[in-house]
Amino acid sequence: MDSSGPAWRKSSHSIRGNCVEIAWRRGAEGINIMVRDSKFPGREPLVFTPGEWAEFLGRAKTGDFDVLAGAAAARETQDRRDLASVPAAAPAPARS
């Protein structure tokens, strides 16, 4: 590995190497976050500013991109949201 290159990090949730890797670098315009497909490490990475990366992570955490994974993933996300918005059931009245 080239020690002068970025230190790429792979997700701990990686399954059989099918994942993305991230790294950061300091450039003339500040820090950039780089993202690449671990199966193709020689390809040019996507490059984000810290603000863009924060926006992406926020939207990913709220499920905004789940539709890209297919209808089943979108339904699962909506089900989780629906369950989270249901108030806890009140205890049943005591019987005498």
Which residues neighbour 46 within 8 Å (Cβ) at sequence distance 6 or greater?
34, 35, 36
Rg for the chain, CA atoms, rounded:
20
Q: Which of 39, 11, 46 is nearest to 25 (CA)?
A: 46
The one-letter code for the residue type at 27 is G
| 76: three-class secondary structure by DSSP | helix
* Per-residue pLDDT at 30 exceeds 60: yes
Q: The whole model's pTM is what?
A: 0.61
Cα separation, 96 vs 91, in Å, equals 15
Q: What confidence score (pLDDT) does residue 45 get?
A: 95
pLDDT of residue 96: 58
Question: Tens of pLDDT along 4-28?
Answer: 688 999 877 777 777 889 999 998 7
Choose between 22 and 77: higher pLDDT: 22
